[in-house]
């Protein structure tokens, strides 16, 4: 059995020699499937691919043609045995993903056949691609900027259609287009200030400090809005955790099953059925949501329940959002519930009044009196489904923010957020310098720092080690 292919150990720095290499990799996921694709990119992609298959005619750009895959171990190419058939497509530079000549060989998804193609390509002068090298070449050729390249990875990893939509928008350059006018305004201000310094003897008027301050503030305003988008963008990209807590037998597991839309947690009439955390990932409005059903909070009856309650407290502390489930049929709140209600005031939390189908005549109970005027309390019945749509909407509103429009061009990762934060910090320093009547030469240092931070966001001035970190997280073949 042949050993699986591993990427060659080569420097990641995008030097000219590496860019002249023709690279090859399997671009479909590991394993068996109906179709498997081997991709080549580089100056020799066409000649190498043509030697791997038997074509009826030479490859023509953007035209797919049927071909025979040949046994790479055969010494006579003319008499080589056919081992599979494939569809071969040629994308001529610069009209390709990498802006180089690209050939894709779509065969049946047999790992043996695909690896045979890759090994034969390497024997004919190609090099096994590093993780993310196809997308890295697209970035280095100027086809994508860095935010678009990162969106390629986000699209591959998307678990919901909404995540895919956001990633697709990023690939189309929505975030880049949001940044461009900010950069343009900053560059224009820098140019005017430098002109005033360089040509002072030509009576070019210096910009008054109050005008500079106004223009810096105008640059900061959209940057601050962009920075604020990170909180929601990170939720869209990474998801959010929601813990369901409350007393035993309040209907937490039934509510959990309703939200999951299947019988995931065990439900019985006996209090304390749930002893361990039960977790399930669902999609709510396109946002990945890790739902956590917890053990009921009370004085433990045995060691197993004690461990479960401790895990519940840990899940409560770690959760991004909390659902506190109260039993609408109860006459009074437990001490645990009173403490939790107080804690919910400082958390992203919702109070759920469950078992409303059984709460006839209970409107005067302590549970209802304590919740009187609490706009966050949502009445539900996990048994009948009453209030479940309203609960879903409330959770989504809590995640997105009340009355907040979902904007486009979100920042979705920490690297982007840090770049914008550094730009805002530099602009704040520029404002402080203006207040201190610092000469324009010193003011320009802060403005150039802000510009470099924005350039790093899109990749115009990004260090090689950052590129290494970004593209090494891609899969081989992309």
What are the CA-CA distances from residue 348 to residues 45, 77, 324, 345 (Å)?
54, 68, 11, 8
- Looking at mean pLDDT, say which of 2-6, 76-80, 356-360 comes out highest: 356-360
| Domain boundary, last residue among 143, 164, 190 | 143
Q: Are residues 267 and 372 in the same domain?
A: yes
Q: Which tens digits make up the pLDDT trace of 119-175?
A: 999 999 999 999 989 999 999 898 988 888 888 888 888 888 888 898 898 888 898
Rounded distance between C-alpha atoms, residue 367 and residue 385, angstroms = 21
Whether residue 356 lies inside any domain: the answer is yes
Tokens 């055969």 locate to: 74
Listed residues 400, 424, 446: the one ending a domain: 400
CATH code of the domain containing 121: 3.30.1360.120
Residue 223 and residue 130 share a domain: no
Asked, for residue 160, whether it belongs to a domain, the answer is no
Task: Choose the final residue of a domain: 143, 164, 193.
Answer: 143
472 has pLDDT over 80: no
User: What CATH number does residue 198 fall under?
Assistant: 1.20.120.430
268 and 383 co-located in one domain: yes
Q: What is the pLDDT of residue 8?
A: 40
- Does 11 map to a domain? no
Asked if residue 381 and residue 247 are part of one domain, the reply reads yes
Indicate whether 134 belongs to any domain: yes
Structural domain contains residue 9: no
Which residues does residue 68 pair with via DSSP β-bridges, in sequence order?
54, 85
Instruction: Note whether 265 and 388 are same-domain residues.
Output: yes
Same domain, 374 and 432: no
**Mean pLDDT confidence for 106-124:** 92
30 and 89 belong to one structural domain? yes
Whether residue 66 lies inside any domain: the answer is yes
- Give the confidence band of 82 by pLDDT, cuts at 50, 70, 90: confident
Lowest average pLDDT, out of 107-121, 162-176, 307-321, goes to 307-321
My answer on whether 104 and 62 are in the same domain is yes
Judgement on whether residues 126 and 30 belong to the same structural domain of the protein: yes
Say whether both 208 and 348 belong to one domain: no
pLDDT of residue 107: 92
Q: What is the per-residue pLDDT across 401-460, written as a single tens digit (0 to 9) for each?
A: 654 555 677 888 888 999 999 999 999 999 998 888 888 788 889 999 999 999 888 877
Residue 200 clears pLDDT 60, i.e. is over it:
no
pLDDT at 269: 46
What does pTM read for this prediction? 0.74
Residue range 263-290, pLDDT digits in tens: 654 444 444 444 567 788 888 888 888 8
Q: What is the pLDDT of residue 267?
A: 45
- Mean pLDDT, rounded, of the chain: 81
Number of independent structural domains in the chain: 3
The answer as to whether 469 is a domain residue is: no
Lowest mean pLDDT among 109-118, 345-354, 467-476: 467-476
Mean pLDDT across 239-255: 84
* CATH code for the domain in which residue 285 is found: 3.40.50.300
Split at pLDDT 50, 70, 90, the class of 380 is confident
Tell the burial category of 331 from Cβ atoms under 10 Å away from its Cβ (0-12, 13-18, 19+): exposed
Is residue 4 in a domain? Answer: no
Question: For 332-438, where are the E strands, in sequence order?
Answer: 349-354, 377-379
Domain with 36, as residue range(s), is 16-143
Whether residue 201 sits in one domain with residue 278: no
Please tell me whether residues 252 and 389 are part of one structural domain: yes
For residue 16, name the pLDDT band (cuts at 50, 70, 90): very low
């Amino acid at each position: 059995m042949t050993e699986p292919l591993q990427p060659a150990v080569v420097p990641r720095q995008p030097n000219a020699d590496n860019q002249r290499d023709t690279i090859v990799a399997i671009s479909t996921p590991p394993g068996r499937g109906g179709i498997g694709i081997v991709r080549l990119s580089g100056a020799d992609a066409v000649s190498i691919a043509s030697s791997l298959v038997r074509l009826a005619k030479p490859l023509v750009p953007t035209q797919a043609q049927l071909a025979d895959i040949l046994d790479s171990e055969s010494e006579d190419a003319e008499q080589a045995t056919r081992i599979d058939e494939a569809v071969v497509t040629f994308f001529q530079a610069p009209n390709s993903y990498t802006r180089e000549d690209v050939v894709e060989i779509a065969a049946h998804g047999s790992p043996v056949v695909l690896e045979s193609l890759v090994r034969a390509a390497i024997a004919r002068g190609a090099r096994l691609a590093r993780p993310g090298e196809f997308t890295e070449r697209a970035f280095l050729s100027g086809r994508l900027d860095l935010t678009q390249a990162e969106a390629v990875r986000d699209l591959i990893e998307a678990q919901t259609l909404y995540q895919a939509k956001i990633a697709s928008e990023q690939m189309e350059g929505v975030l880049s287009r949001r940044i461009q006018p900010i950069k343009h305004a900053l560059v224009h201000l820098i140019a005017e200030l430098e002109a005033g310094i360089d040509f002072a003897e030509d009576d070019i008027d210096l910009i008054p400090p109050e005008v500079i301050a106004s223009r810096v503030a105008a640059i900061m305003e959209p940057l601050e809005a962009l920075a604020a988008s990170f909180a929601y963008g990170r939720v869209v990209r990474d998801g959010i955790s929601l813990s369901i807590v409350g007393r035993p037998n309040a209907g937490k597991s039934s509510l959990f099953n309703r939200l999951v839309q299947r019988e995931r947690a065990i439900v019985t009439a006996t209090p304390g059925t749930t002893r361990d955390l039960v977790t399930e990932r669902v999609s709510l409005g396109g946002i990945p949501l890790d739902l956590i059903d917890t053990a009921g909070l009370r004085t433990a009856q045995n060691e197993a329940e004690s461990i479960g309650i401790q895990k519940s407290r840990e899940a409560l502390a770690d959760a991004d959002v909390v659902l506190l489930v109260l039993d609408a049929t109860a006459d009074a709140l437990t001490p645990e519930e009173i403490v939790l209600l107080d804690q919910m005031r400082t958390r992203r939390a919702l109070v759920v009044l469950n078992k409303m189908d059984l709460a006839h005549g209970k409107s005067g109970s302590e549970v209802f009196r304590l919740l009187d005027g609490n706009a966050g309390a949502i009445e539900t019945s996990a048994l009948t489904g009453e209030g479940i749509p309203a609960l879903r909407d409330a959770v989504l509103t809590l995640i997105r923010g009340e009355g907040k429009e979902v904007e486009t061009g979100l920042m979705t990762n920490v690297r982007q957020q840090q770049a914008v934060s550094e730009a805002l910090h530099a602009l704040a320093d520029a404002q402080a310098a203006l207040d201190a009547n610092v000469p324009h030469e010193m003011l320009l240092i802060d403005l150039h720092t802000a510009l470099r931070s924005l350039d790093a966001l899109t990749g115009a001035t990004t260090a090689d080690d950052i590129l290494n970190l970004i593209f090494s997280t891609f899969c081989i073949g992309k």
